[in-house]
Amino acid sequence: MRKSIARFLLMVAVTMAAPYVPAAYAKTNCGAVMQELTTGKKPKQVALDMSISTSSVYRCRHLSKMHAAKAAAGMSGEPPTTMAATPPATH
């Protein structure tokens, strides 16, 4: 009985914490960070100039690369590999 209660409480805690996004992530202007990085500034200097952490700069750079990859994949005209269509069966 105790184990099932503990599992239930753990499930509730994980479910409640999953959509939580720290406020610091929402406050970082990744567009401005990327503009600074494209001018040739180092991540540490961008972080100092914008009063943010260097990890936020690296996170913005990572997100930018992910968005660029998704945009490139979407523009190629090829279907995603996870949803590959199979030809209809003929009998």
Report pLDDT digits (tens) over 65-88.
Answer: 999 998 888 765 555 555 555 566
Tokens 């590999």 correspond to 81
For the chain, the residue count is 91
Number of other CB atoms surrounding residue 46 within 10 Å: 22
Q: What angle do CA 76, 80, 86 make, to 5 degrees?
A: 115
Rounded to whole angstroms, how far apart are CA atoms 45 and 37? 9
Asked whether the predicted pLDDT for residue 16 surpasses 60, the reply is yes
pTM score above 0.95: no
